[in-house]
Chains A and B, each alone.
Chain A
Amino acid sequence: EPEVTQTPSHQVTQMGQEVILRCVPISNHLYFYWYRQILGQKVEFLVSFYNNEISEKSEIFDDQFSVERPDGSNFTLKIRSTKLEDSAMYFCASSEVPYQETQYFGPGTRLLVL
């Protein structure tokens, strides 16, 4: 069964460093999402992406965040200058169509900022 994959599974970085989290969505999906989950808290929407541009973004997704689809398979989330509060699990998801359609989540990347 097709699945969303994410790399790395864990990432430790120093405050102020840039990190890039990678995702490979399901191959025939066209809509991509990033979420984060701070330990013990709810899953929070960050951004949705379609046709090489951002469709929606939340208040969390500020200038420190960016997303990109650099090739036909990868979808990345970049945090330019990490802060301690960026420590969280980051989930990528994809769906065939937007708006009221099943999203399939990857296993997540656990980011720890020291």
Chain B
Amino acid sequence: GESVGLHLPTLSVQEGDNSIINCAYSNSASDYFIWYKQESGKGPQFIIDIRSNMDKRQGQRVTVLLNKTVKHLSLQIAATQPGDSAVYFCAESNFNKFYFGSGTKLNVKP
């Protein structure tokens, strides 16, 4: 089956610093990738997505980078805020099936 994994289970950053969360995927046929944020006791919340025909996409304070050569996805959060503290999942999609990574917990220190 598909495999989507995260390199770091926990990331601690200082408020105001930039955060980078990484993700590896294994299915080269995946053509759509999403980052979700999950706060304790809540459902996943969409952050940003990227299609396989792109290598970078920017949103408000967030950037997703896709490197298809090494099957790597990253989420960059600029000027990290305490409200960014959560678990972040990447997910890959192939034919409307979605496969999630196990998540990275982001701790933002004031």
A residues whose Cβ falls under 8 Å from a Cβ of B: 4, 33, 35, 41-45, 48, 55-56, 58-59, 91, 93, 98-100, 102-108
Question: Which residues of B are found within 8 Å of A102, using beta-carbon distances?
Answer: 34, 46, 49
Could you tell me which B residues sit within 8 Å of A by CB distance? 1, 31-32, 34, 36, 41-46, 49, 51, 89, 91, 93, 95-103
Which residues on A sit within 8 Å (CB–CB) of B103? Answer: 42
A103 and B46 within 8 A (CB)? yes
CB-based contact B44/A91 at 8 Å? yes
B100 touches A104 (CB 8 A): no
List of B residues within 8 angstroms of A33 by Cβ: 98
Name A56's contact: one of B1, B31, B32, B96 (CB within 8 Å).
Answer: B96
Nearest 6 Cβ contacts at the A-B interface: A105-B43, A100-B32, A43-B100, A42-B102, A42-B100, A45-B98
Q: Are A56 and B43 in contact (CB under 8 A)?
A: no
Chain B residues contacting A105 (CB-CB under 8 Å) are 36, 43-46
Other A-B pairs beyond A45-B98, A99-B32, A104-B46, 8, CB < 8 Å: A41-B102, A42-B101, A42-B103, A43-B89, A93-B43, A100-B49, A100-B93, A105-B46
Cα–Cα, bound, A35→B93 (Å): 14
Interface contact B96-A91, CB-CB below 8 Å: no
